[in-house]
Amino acid sequence: MSKIKRAVLSILPGIFLIGYNIGTGSVTAMSKAGANFGLDLLWAILISCVITYYLIVLFSRFTMVTSQTFIQGVKDHIHPGLAILLLVSLSVIIISALIGILGIIAEVLQVWYMTVFGNATPAVLWAIVVGAGIYFLLWMGNYSFFEKVLAVLVAIMGIAFIATALINFPSLSELAGGLVPSLPETADGSDNSPLVILAGMVGTTVSVFVFIIRSQIVKEIGWQIQDNSIQRRDALVSASMMFLIGASIMITAATTLHFQGLKLNNVTEMIPLLEPLAGKATLSVFVIGILAAGLSSHLPNMLVIPWLIIDYKKDRRDTTTGFHRILLLLLTLASIGGVGFGFKPVFIMMLSQACLSIVLPVTIASIFYLTSRRSIMNKHVNTLPDLLVLSFIMLFSLYMSWVGISGLIVDLAFT
């Protein structure tokens, strides 16, 4: 095997994580931040990606040392009840995400088709096509296959977003100004607070799913502590790409919508707004990026619940069994049904946001505890710098949770 091929294969796990991290939620959050505040919150993407890199490395180190996934470590070394709580909370979040992501993909295709061709096609038809296609891939594939599919989708997404940003690239002084931490003034509207938008950006970047799935992937491919340099490089590629793609989305919104004084609350609103500003060609490239982001999130998100169940039971990771194929079919039907019936999962979305606000601090606190125990980590236990960094991240996650819940309460007051 050539050195180039080995190098590419060694970073596929990190590219797989980008699929979890950059989805329609991230596109919406970064677009909204760019439209409302220009590049003022660019620094938040950078800090979030640095934190994400550190935590990817930490979760990987735990699994490389113990040969246990994070969920297994929580079950064996903390309490099985906490592991079950994490599984239930994550499942609620994922079901909501699956409905929301497929709905956004269908709406994006519907709005784009109407904008470019002038014909209306029901969103549910797009949902059926996309949902069936993803289920077919899940029926036929395995982890190695998923890696390759996600790598292609992430490459398309990255090229599309970066190319769109380069068309109206800002000056270097504007970029440098955006990397200086500051909070812009609150824009009009209940959901336009910079703190709430900041919480959304951080929540979609510092993703608890990325860290838990990373732990599973490290065990799956058999990395040991002697492979630490490889996994750190892989994590760096992953976090760097997350920053480049997230920043490109923000730059696109900042140099078009913000420049025109336009605001948005949903990524689908960006499509008709962008056409007169950027032209049909640029619009189509951006839509391709959105679709790649949605598909690269929907596919691995479909695997989360089966993988969590397998993880907790310590079974061999095989999603082609009859039970898991039925489970994946039910998740697919639920996603399509949500679009077909015009289901607006307000309650589930509220519940999922509450769960996510709880899950991230609990997850960080758990890995903090596990990696600080010498009986578990031996000589690879957390050092003093690790303890200081983790303490900062823990406080940061608690603050972001408080901001997110406060923003949710404010938004509910306006509904």
pLDDT at res. 397: 85
Burial grade of 170 (CB within 10 A; 0-12, 13-18, 19 or more): middle
User: Which positions ≥6 away from 100 have C-beta within 8 Å?
Assistant: 24, 25, 345, 349
Question: Angle formed by the axes of helices 228-253 and 194-205, to 10°?
Answer: 150
DSSP state at residue 185: P
In the chain, the amino acid numbered 334 is: A
Query: Please, are residues 189 and 263 in contact by the beta-carbon 8 Å criterion?
Result: yes
Helix %, strand %, coil % for the chain, to 5?
Answer: 85, 0, 15
Alpha-carbon distance of 99 to 343, in angstroms, equals: 9
Q: Would you call 276 exposed, middle or buried from its count of C-beta atoms within 10 A (0-12, 13-18, 19+)?
A: exposed
Residue 389 has phi, psi (to 5 degrees) of: -65, -45
Q: 296 and 19 in contact (C-beta within 8 Å)? A: yes
For 409, half-sphere exposure in the C-beta direction (CA atoms, 13 angstrom radius) is 6
From the list 322, 352, 350, 359, the residue with the least C-alpha distance to 409 is 350
pLDDT at position 371 is 96
The answer to whether 60 and 231 have CB atoms below 8 angstroms apart is yes
Q: With CA atoms as reference, report the closest residue to 282 among 155, 119, 115.
A: 115
Which residues, in sequence order, are CB contacts of 401 under 8 Å at separation 6+? 357, 358, 360, 361
CA distance 193 to 200: 11
From CA 7, how far away is CA 136, in angstroms rounded?
Answer: 30
Helix axes 143-167, 228-253, angle to 10 degrees: 40
Query: Can you tell me which residue has the tokens 């492979």?
Result: 227
The pLDDT of residue 35 is 83
Q: Nearest 5°: phi and psi at 41?
A: -105, 20
Mean pLDDT, consecutive 10-residue stretches, the chain (415 aa), reads 59 69 74 85 91 94 94 94 91 85 84 76 89 88 72 80 82 87 65 70 83 89 89 90 89 78 63 60 74 81 89 83 90 88 55 66 94 94 94 88 70 57
pLDDT at 347: 47
d(CA 385, CA 162): 35
